[in-house]
Amino acid sequence: MKALKQVVIDTFATLLSPKAYFSTLPKEGGLWYPILKIIIYGFFAMFIFSLVYINMLDTAKYTVIKNYVWLIPIIISVLSPFISFFILILETMIFLIIARLCGAKTDFITGSKIAASLAVTMPLSSILGYFNLISPAMGIVISILVGTLTIWIAYNAIVYKFGTNKKRTATLLIIFLVILLTLNLIGIGVAKQAQTNQLLQQPTFND
């Protein structure tokens, strides 16, 4: 219970005052806390994501899924810890690479703590993903905002935890943000094109 309370405190600290949070982040400690943190973030992100998309399904086409919607919490409870752990390892490796490019000297444990903290945007991204279903243009704007927030948190983590050069760190992170947003736009475009092709391939019946 104490650990869960600490996750809540750290979440608000990461979002509201990342400079103060990362400058006082201890280097000691094991992997258990970053794993716990990202499992919590991953659970809420997957749960919200599934609810958003289930509610947007066409009832006539997806009646079977609607009837078994109660299985979603069970499936998420089983899968989210494994998926979250994989995400933590992947994000830690990516962060370590970026931090080294910025001139930081870090280790896997510290990197995992920061990577888990960056995952705070996962539930937020899932909530705001609802707007992507309403309007692709709105989804793009939301993606930019969430991506910018993530990069801003990463900037504070690298600069105020490791004392790297601010200008160099900002430049590299902006480049990374542009790459992420470009890939996101390509993904949205591919998904939109696939949806259009599917509609064009549907048979039409004339009187």
pLDDT of 2-36, one tens digit each? Answer: 888 888 899 999 999 999 999 888 877 788 889 99
For the chain, how many structural domains are there in total? Answer: 1
Q: What is the pTM assigned to this prediction?
A: 0.79
Given a cut of 60, whether residue 166 has pLDDT beyond it is yes
d(CA 139, CA 145): 10
User: How many angstroms separate the Cα of 35 from the Cα of each of 66, 89, 99, 116, 138?
Assistant: 32, 9, 20, 7, 32
Question: What pLDDT does residue 156 have?
Answer: 93
Contact criterion met (CB below 8 Å) for 95 and 161: no
In a domain, 158, yes or no: yes
Q: Which domain holds residue 16?
A: 2-201
Looking at the chain, the whole-number percentage of residues with pLDDT higher than 90 is 26
In a domain, 207, yes or no: no
In a domain, 8, yes or no: yes
Contact criterion met (CB below 8 Å) for 69 and 59: no
In a domain, 109, yes or no: yes
In a domain, 206, yes or no: no
- If you average pLDDT over residues 46-67, what whole number do you get? 63
